Chain A
Amino acid sequence: MTVATAHAAPPKPSTWTRVRGWVGNPWGRPRFLVGFTWLYMAWSIIPALIAIQFSFNSGRSRTIWSGFSTRWYWGDVDSVWSDADLHHALIQSIKLAVLDVAIATPLGVLLALGLARWRGRGAGVSNFIMLFPLVTPEIVMGVSLLLVFTHVFTFIQPSTTAQVLGHVTFSISYVVVVVRGRLFSIGRQYEEAAADLGASPAVALYRVLLPLLMPAIVASIAIVFALSIDDFVISYWLSCGAGCDTVPIQIYAATRAAPLPSTNAIATILSALTLASIIIGYLGYRFFTRHERAGGGLVGDMAAFDV
């Protein structure tokens, strides 16, 4: 029986030759890589989707699904809306993020301009120092800021003010990196043209350079907002106690105790805020670069957001 079918069927390539064919053809579809990549994507996204799903659970469990409900957002005594701690943490997170954007963006834009064009003593050192906050482990920054506020700048002490100062300190460098990239790509010729046509330095800065920098500024605002909303370590080290708790601190505390689906709910709100800020920032970026689209498309645009 088996012999008969073997004769009837056309000669099938062995598994080995087929695998070799996939791997060996550099211009063919690498099937193994396709599967692997999509598996990775599923692995990286699905757990978060399940966590979001359980924020809408009608039961008290985060592991057993018992139907759809929004009781963990509002209505229940332990919901985000009614639980004073969660409510306050959400406000604290947004407060820190807004203040961080308001301070770090102008500081960072000015610093980027200065560092890109200042050719004097101190420029090299400043360029070098600016990169350190990007690579210093957060715990080292957290410890050093905590100690500086408790032993040197003792008039501040761990507080909301200290948290804002800490957030700005780690955000500035991201703004500098984004804005400086844009500065290099636009060059100086537009300003020089403006000067040739009689613009004063102030006019060249305000009417020529600032509009050209707008896409980078909008991207920075979105990135700083998202970084600040997401930050756990700096907020944690500079916290003054319950009054300074942000959403990530609440999630951290809750996972170590026995969390309710309301923890998932507040985490969902937090992620929605981050995503919204990034999407708005991206749309703003597209808007301000609408006359420059010569190619690159989405992939090229996204380079502005990967820091």
Chain B
Amino acid sequence: MYPRWLWSGFALPGVIWLILLFIIPFYAVIGVAFGTVDPILFRPIPSWNPLDWNVGWMSQTLTRLEPGGDLWDVFVRTTEYVVISVGASLAIGYPVAYYIARHARRTKALLLVLLILPLWISYLMRMLAWVNLLEVDGYVNRFLMWSHVINQPYGWLDGKPVTVVFALIYGYIPYFILPLFAALDRIDQSHLEAARDLGASPLQAFLRVTLPLSKTGILGGCVLIALPMFGDYYTPNIVSGAPTTSMLGNQIDLYFHGTSQPTIGAALTILLSLFLVVLMGYYIWTVHRATKELAST
């Protein structure tokens, strides 16, 4: 009933927008990373032709990323922080999502609102809230001194890795719980009843029915928070700011806004994207598959 060109015509403006402002910008990063630097003004001169590419900056950055290089330490630290934070998010988030999906009855709507609420409170405000609480004379130190856990105020904000990891967990965990809740909520209760009727213990039923059925939710949630964590620079800057807790994102930020070496910054951005492409691919593949299923029904 509709003319054949209509739908492609509808898609056109959006597709052009994404090509101009999403795909070409990626090529701009590549051009700058493989370009040269003006020797007098220190401005990057991008090179757009792959035949003229100058691989000097990229190979220098790669050498620094190898074991023993200075960026290697940052890379290892970033990975450590992200792995610990994602693991802790899973340990905290799974019971919460499980309870709301399986057991909450009258309080389910309220709990869901509370679960979504942090997503609509500004991320920066939630970080500011913890900066206030963790100050030398903040509530956390006062509580710990009142309960005699510590004798003098602890400098939580003076470049402590534990504070950075805590802030990462606090910042990203709502984004983890929501997809996990959706996956758990979709599980048909009758599967569990069948497992129990067939003689499975509650633990067995959980391990062999609920857990496998929530696997996509777990993996999806992990990827969804690991990706922005790998590119995060503001969280460590807000709660620590010390070079000893700097992550890869901080290095990129530094090359652009601190030392003005965009060429190295661009090279590092490309390497970070290449490192993350597997995670991104996995997530897009699952979403793509789900969309296709939805479209075919």
Contacts and interface: CB of A to CB of B under 8 A. Distances in A.
Given A44-B174, A143-B256, A252-B234, A133 B10 contact: no
A181 B224 CA distance: 20
Place the interface of chain B in its size category.
Answer: 35 or more
Contacts of B22: 129, 132-133, 141, 169
A138 B231 contact: yes
Given A48-B118, A126-B15, A252-B238, A184 B295 contact: yes
A274 interface: yes
Interface stretch (B53-61, B98-106, B144-152): B98-106
A5 to B, nearest CB: 33
Contact of B28 (A134, A151, A230): A151
Nearest to B31: A151
B108 to A, nearest CB: 6
Interface residues of A, number: 107
Nearest to A51: B129
A292 B201 CA distance: 41
Interface string B225-269: 001101111100110010000000100110010000010011001
Interface in A32-80: 33-34, 36-37, 40-41, 43-45, 47-48, 50-51, 54, 61-64
Nearest to A25: B202
Contact of A270 (B11, B25, B125): B125
A37 B99 contact: yes
A305 interface: yes
Interface in B1-41: 1-3, 6-15, 17-19, 21-26, 28-29, 31-32
Interface string A291-307: 00000011100110110
B95 A232 contact: no
Interface stretch (B68-76, B211-219, B276-284): B276-284
Contacts, number: 291
Given A132-B280, A204-B1, A48 B125 contact: yes
A237 B46 CA distance: 19
A264 B133 CA distance: 12
Interface string B173-195: 11000100010010000001000
A147 interface: yes
B272 interface: yes
8 contacts: A37-B99, A40-B92, A108-B14, A110-B13, A111-B14, A144-B25, A144-B26, A148-B25
